[in-house]
Amino acid sequence: MRVFVTGASGHVGSVVAPELIAAGHDVLGLARSDSAAAALRAAGVQVHRGDLDDTDSLRAGAAAADGVIHLAFKHDWGDFASAAATDLRAIEAIGDVLAGSGKPFVSTSGTLMLTMAGPLGRTGTEEDTVEVGEPPRPRVASENTAVALAGRGIRSSVVRLAPTTHGPDDHHGFVPRLIGIARDTGVSGYVGDGANRWPAVHELDAARLYRLALETAPPGTRLHGAGEEGIPFRDIAEAIGRRLNAPTASIPPGDEAMAHFGFLGALVNLDNPTSHALTERLLDWQPAHPGLIADLAGANYFG
């Protein structure tokens, strides 16, 4: 299968592309810069120049492929609403090209969205959905639009990634940001008692999930890239503190958490336990790589 991958040179894309190639697929990767194009060529990926704002380039890439994996996202925390709107337009453009083809289209969301309407009070499942609501909730419209493409003759699915998608290629995700904050402040923090839970997934397990979704996911399915259901946030902070030889401390919620964590202050106290049971049943996806705490104990983040 020839697969068009947006975000192919990013964190998750850089492990998804080799996974696809190893399984016998050809990969056409979206590249917005010369450096991204060079990295893709070095990895054996064919280059398609363009970016998320260029919907014509997205349509052309989708038209040239047998399936699409959409990973790219503009991580502009200063204007997240605009980034989410760009993501939605990209999904709509790709959907217009694939409509009626029966081709697979795997898009990307996050498990944290399950907490945006308030805590579930239980473990989240793939069957849980979120409405756009007021004020608009980031990426919810994109997820719902991608799933709805199944009604237009596309084998669409969405992978909800855990916020801690970790591994050797994770240089700009939430884990490196938390480590950077601890280094800058001298404290590895958590909010309140730190009992709130975050799911986690190793990047190689996530890459396999995207490949399996491309190959076999039923149309209109939501999938959970959450190899570990929920790690208490205090455990994550303590693991970082141990490696930095820094104290671990509770940060009061509200203004103090925002001051300490920056934009992550709105997220670090969310309780987001997430099941992948349905994903495992549908795709026979069984995470096999090290968990987050084990990864933090190694050299990946502190070499």
Following DSSP, what letter does each residue of 166-177 receive, concatenated? ESTT-SSSHHHH
Query: Contact at 8 Å (CB) between 105 and 42?
Result: no
Q: Which CATH class is domain 2-165+200-229+273-289?
A: alpha beta
pLDDT digits (tens, 9 = 90+) for 244-266: 999 999 999 999 999 999 989 98
Between strands 197-202 and 104-110, the pairing is unpaired
CB-based contacts of 134, cutoff 8 Å, min separation 6: none
By C-alpha distance, which of 262, 287, 267 is closest to 276? 287
Paired with 201 in beta bridges are 165
Helix, strand, coil share of the chain (percent; to 5): 40, 20, 35
Percentage of residues in the chain having pLDDT higher than 90: 88
CB-based contacts of 292, cutoff 8 Å, min separation 6: 164, 166, 175, 200, 228, 231, 236, 239
Give the model's pLDDT for residue 137. Answer: 65
Q: What is the pTM of this model?
A: 0.96
Give the model's pLDDT for residue 208. Answer: 98
Distance CA 56, CA 35 (A): 22
**What tokens does 259 get?**
């001051």
Give the model's pLDDT for residue 196. Answer: 97
Query: Contact at 8 Å (CB) between 160 and 113?
Result: yes
pLDDT digits (tens, 9 = 90+) for 201-241: 999 999 999 999 999 999 999 999 999 999 999 999 999 99
Distance CA 72, CA 93 (A): 14
Distance CA 269, CA 264 (A): 9
The Cβ of residue 166 has, within 10 Å, a number of other Cβ atoms equal to: 30
pLDDT digits (tens, 9 = 90+) for 174-206: 999 999 999 999 999 999 999 999 999 999 999
Task: Parse the chain into domains and list their residue ranges.
Answer: 2-165+200-229+273-289, 171-197+230-266
Give the model's pLDDT for residue 201. Answer: 98
By C-alpha distance, which of 182, 177, 168 is closest to 299? 168
Dihedral (CA of 127, 213, 73, 302) sign: positive
Give the model's pLDDT for residue 138. Answer: 65
